[in-house]
A and B are shown apart, each in its own frame.
Chain A
Amino acid sequence: MSYDPSKLTTGELLEGWAAVMRELHARDALCTNNNPVGDIAEVNVAAHYAGERGGFSQAGWDVKTPDGERIQVKGIRVIGRGSAGRSLSPIRDTDYDCVVVVVFDESFRVTEGLRITRQVVEARFPVERYRNARFIRLTGALRDDPPSKRSTSPTPTGACTTGKSHAQTGRVRCRSGAAIASTVTAVCEGPPVPSARDTRRYWVWVTGPDYYLEDDGSERADLDPGQGYEPGGWWTCHRETEDGDLVLLYRSRRKQDIAYLIETRSDAYSLLDDEHAAEQGWDYGCDYEVIAKFRRPLSLTEMRADPALRDWGALRAGFRRRVYAIPPDTWNHLLDRLSEDRTKVERRRRSAAKRYALERDIEDRLAADLSPFRRHGLRLELRARQHVCRAAGVPISCASRRARSAT
């Protein structure tokens, strides 16, 4: 018999919800009356490590392993793919050794587990003074950070592991604790685990000649890859863009082709307080790094002649908007056509991501502890990171923010 909530009244739905919560309590899957995500994540982690769950007397850790490792557990239920759901609850204590993040889909199936050492947490996520807490944000850069271990690695370091025998089907396998085996099985048997590539989104940014050509008509040298990430360089983007998303740059009007591969270096942020951006009608911006300039760009004519791209919305619309999402299949097809060697392009991307993660790591460490500057006679207080300057009524970036936008 199928369960169809749309046929129930609101009262019946709430009664059903209360009954489900009672039953989960009775089965020890929940131990609070709060949002159940955290409890269910703790159940998973405790079962995986065969550890004990903490009580209310200690706030710092939630699960202690048989080896005595104290784990703070964070659960997140991702509905759709809004970036708003990717910040975790606050960390206010220091009584823990590592954080394990369990990511659920809407139906409480585990899609990802991430184990982050306390050292990495403290280096990457400084205490936000006005909230007196650290907030972990699940970004591509964090996932690329070597000390963070994803559950999708063959080594069982995360909350759940993908066993070798399961690797092809990509199903999550959890080690069950005896007392809660049924609960764990229920929440851990999930859909295919997304690979690192599947967790990011793909976009095409459409830009006009002002932003891809120099005044003399030559191609802009500062768009060539290999110059590293320039903090503050930003481009207008879709509001759902996240750090680590991949982008193809479509050059409108004079060139009419796709010529660059870009990786975003931040989530989308609002440009509302930027007068210049507001005047242009730009609402969101993203930091970015150019990864590759294709030796042979893909022209609009070639794309239109390609049957595999016939249904791609951006192409059908003639690249009129500033930004379009690219479905994964279309992305793969475009990359196959653009790259002479996809392995080489991917290697370049990984190398850039690693260097970027290292730079961020150094910056995070220095931002968290400025005392090393004392040796050089500087007693410093941090006032801002990546501050955007405004001088003489014109927004100027302290990190040479150069706005790049569409058509």
Chain B
Amino acid sequence: MCFETGAKRYVIIELKRGLVSRNAVAQLLSYRSSIAEEFPVRRRPIGVLVGDRLDNEAAGMIADDDRLDFIALNDIT
């Protein structure tokens, strides 16, 4: 769990190796709502999935939620 200093909001990062499925997105959504409840700040937390690649369903879920993001593992390691 991180804090984005500029935007003053929590960022939950979930690392998944291999193909990232909708289960991983659902897991991250659950963490995000738990953090929002536990640490109420003005800006709501965002979730970032880090993994090798997304399957189609997961990609759709992330595209539909502006507080979810995906970063390819290759881009940050």
Contact = CB atoms under 8 A, between A and B. Distances in A.
Interface of A: 228, 355, 358-359, 362-363, 365-366, 370, 372-373, 375-376, 378-385, 387, 389-392, 396, 398-400
B21 to A, nearest CB: 10
A390 B40 CA distance: 12
B15 A381 contact: no
Given A366-B13, A372-B77, A396-B34, 14 more contacts: A228-B17, A358-B17, A372-B75, A373-B71, A378-B4, A378-B48, A380-B5, A381-B2, A383-B2, A389-B37, A390-B38, A391-B37, A396-B30, A398-B35
A362 B73 contact: yes
Contacts of B48: 373, 378
A373 to B, nearest CB: 6
Nearest to A375: B75
A398 B30 CA distance: 7
B4 A376 contact: no
B10 to A, nearest CB: 7
B31 to A, nearest CB: 4
Contact of B11 (A366, A380, A399): A380
B12 interface: yes
Interface residues of B, number: 29
Most B Cβ at <10 Å: residue of A379, A385, A398: A398
Contacts of B56: none
A77 B43 CA distance: 50
Nearest to A229: B17
Interface string B1-30: 111111000111101011000000001001
Contacts of A365: 77
A365 B15 CA distance: 12
Given A376-B75, A400-B27, A359 B17 contact: yes
Contacts of A380: 2-5, 11
Given A372-B77, A383-B10, A389-B38, A399 B4 contact: no
A148 B1 CA distance: 28
A119 to B, nearest CB: 14
Contacts of A375: 75-76
A400 B69 CA distance: 19
Contacts of A355: 17
A399 B69 CA distance: 18
B34 A376 contact: no
Closest 4 CB pairs of A and B: A389-B34, A391-B37, A372-B76, A380-B2
Nearest to B48: A378
Most A Cβ at <10 Å: residue of B15, B31, B76: B76
17 contacts: A228-B17, A228-B18, A362-B17, A365-B77, A373-B76, A379-B5, A380-B4, A380-B5, A380-B11, A381-B2, A381-B5, A382-B2, A383-B1, A383-B2, A391-B37, A396-B30, A398-B1
Contacts of A376: 69, 71, 75-76
A360 to B, nearest CB: 10
B6 A389 contact: no
Contact of B15 (A362, A387, A396, A398): A362
Contacts of A379: 4-6
Contacts of B3: 380-381, 383
Interface string B51-75: 0000000000000000001010101
A391 B31 CA distance: 10
A378 B8 CA distance: 11
Contacts of A370: 2
